[in-house]
Amino acid sequence: MMRKAWLTRLLPAALIVAGGLSISSCEQYSWAKQEVPQDLTVSFSETVQPFCQGCHSAWTVDRTYDKLSANVDTVTPGSSRVLSIHSSITAFGSQMLQIDTLLIPATDVIKLWASQGAEKN
Ligand code: HEC
């Protein structure tokens, strides 16, 4: 009896400690904001287009490019219409895209691509 009571009291405490440790150890990997290198080139075909097709699966590469280039602002990428169209679709805003070893928010990737001239690269 004594033994069991001891266990039921200690186990939750141990789980809380273990949980806390795993959260804090995650922090340095996935939650820290990564610096985007100045010279990082965003590829339409490798990064942007597969992201769009995740939802717009029926669109060809050409159609996706036409839709996107018509809706980005290369001078002020932050005001791109493609961002406001999707602002209420949380899966768009919260998605992270991988470029090399970096994980970058999809919205930042599109802004960067727009600032680099919105090329069909
Ligand atoms: C998380 C899902 C999702 C992703 C990712 C996504 N879209 Fe959309 N998009 C939608 C939904 C939902 C709508 C509104 C319904 C519709 O028109 O299909 C929409 C609408 C649009 C529209 C306006 C309607 C039209 O057909 O002209 C454009 C333009 C557009 N998306 C372009 C893009 C481009 C370019 C990308 C990639 C950068 C992209 N979307 C990525 C879900 C997404």
Domain assignments of the chain as residue spans, ordered by start = 1-32, 35-121
Going by alpha carbons, the residue nearest to atom 25 of ligand 1 is: 67
For residue range 53-80, list pLDDT tens digits in order.
Answer: 999 999 999 999 999 999 999 999 999 9
Phi, psi of 103 (to 5 degrees): -110, 120
Task: Show the tokens assigned to 60.
Answer: 């060809």
What is the best residue among 48, 51, 57, 67 to mutate for testing ligand 1's pocket, by most ligand atoms within 8 Å of CB?
Answer: 67
pTM of the model: 0.79
**Residues lining ligand 1, judged by CB closer than 6 Å?**
48, 51-52, 54-56, 64, 67-68, 71, 82, 85-86, 89, 91-92, 110
Q: What is the pLDDT of residue 53?
A: 96
Q: Which residues pair with 99 in a beta bridge?
A: 102
